[in-house]
Amino acid sequence: MSVRKIIHVDCDCFYAAIEMRDDPRLRGRPLAVGGDPGKRGVIATCNYEARAYGVRSAMASAYAKKLCPELLIVPGRMSVYREVSQAIQAIFADYTPLIQPLSLDEAYLDVTDSQACRGSATLIAKEIRQRVRDTQGITVSAGVAPNKFIAKIASDWNKPDGLKVVLPDQVEDFLRDLPVSRLHGVGRKTAERLQRLGVDVCSELLPWRKQDLAREFGSFGERLWELARGIDDRPVVVESRRQSVSVEHTYEHDLPDLDACLAALPPLLDKLAERIGRLEGSYRVSKPFIKLKFHDFTQTTLEQAGAPITPAGYTELCTQAFARGNCPVRLIGVGVRLDSCLSQLGEQLNLF
């Protein structure tokens, strides 16, 4: 089998980059795209001038303004962002049909069998970056590697407007001093647990046996063993199937107690039913879930297989989720997990 050639392309501060492109007066100053700080808005993305102050995506707009009083927050223009994303996807298609979009601003490309640029993945990545710059007026960063895991890390290596190539014989050196916190699936708690075990970088995972990691971390331990060695056999998946449908709302004023949260559920469930109704018939609702973000920005998500997908079912989930924080709530999200099948959703929708 030939070694795969994977490119991960990631637009640099995508929404903010488009706003700066369309209004040059915004360049050089801290800028974010997001909601109104006075109405519990959240930052969608920001430019690098804002990031220097600690501003990050998913941060409350009001808190971002505290970190950076000069921050300009502009509302998003999703129709424009989608149009640019589609134009970039069209560029990708000139090089390979194997494209897996992850969002509007990033995608994996499998160019193993591409004849473009004499079959060189590095030259393809360079050409894509130049074409996006010339046609869309924004920059993208790219990582080239033998698999998706390393390509994604590499695309972040020289941001913004960067390119990092990791050849097959360079994988071991590339991973040796890589912090385990940068491994896919390693969150803050897992990183802290690894640190307590004396593991800070990937090379310190190598002496561990797979079964010992599995004993410490369950099934994810096996994945850790593979990632530390640069093993990732996931293919680039062209047809992306939805995993869930959800609706969430951030409230201008905190919901003070459980009764207030329960009273806020009906309009959210109505919107959720509408979104499920627009799905193709190849999806089947699997199980309900609810997300609560409390006033201190901690959050919890609760889902339950077999739970009724009804107002009563969500009332029970909300009650249990609220008990985990037992304090005012700033955001509620409701949703359903999806399975792929050929059956229709009519019976499920009637439950709403």
Give the pLDDT score at 281. 63
Return the DSSP state at 208. S
Residue 287: how many other CB atoms lie within 10 Å:
17
> Look-up: residue for tokens 């009724």?
308
| N-terminal to C-terminal alpha carbon distance within the chain | 50
Give the pLDDT score at 349. 40
| 270 is annotated as contributing to ligand binding | no
Of the residues 19, 49, 70, 106, only one is catalytic, namely 106
Give the pLDDT score at 340. 62
Give the pLDDT score at 280. 62
Three-class SS of residue 241? coil
Series of mean pLDDT values for 10-residue runs along the chain (352 residues)? 87 95 94 87 93 92 94 92 91 92 93 93 96 94 96 93 94 92 85 90 92 88 90 85 82 92 94 80 81 87 86 94 93 86 40 41
- DSSP of 318-340: HHHHHHHH-S-EEEEEEEEEEEE
Q: How far is CA 150 from CA 8, 98, 154, 171, in A?
A: 9, 18, 6, 8
The pair of structure tokens assigned to 141 is 């960063």
Q: In the annotation, is 192 catalytic?
A: no
Burial class (CB in 10 A: 0-12, 13-18, 19+), 328: middle
The pair of structure tokens assigned to 96 is 């390979």
Give the pLDDT score at 240. 63
For the chain, domains (ranges, CATH) are 6-12+79-169 (3.30.70.270), 15-77 (3.40.1170.60), 177-227 (1.10.150.20), 244-350 (3.30.1490.100)
Do 49 and 29 contact (CB within 8 A), yes or no? yes
Half-sphere exposure in the Cβ direction for 75 (13 Å, CA)? 4
Q: How far is CA 266 from CA 247, 261, 315, 331, 336, in A?
A: 12, 10, 10, 15, 15
Burial class (CB in 10 A: 0-12, 13-18, 19+), 43: buried
Single pTM value for the model: 0.71
Give the pLDDT score at 341. 55
| 10 is annotated as contributing to ligand binding | yes
Half-sphere exposure in the Cβ direction for 131 (13 Å, CA)? 17
Q: For residue 300, list its beta bridge partners.
A: 292
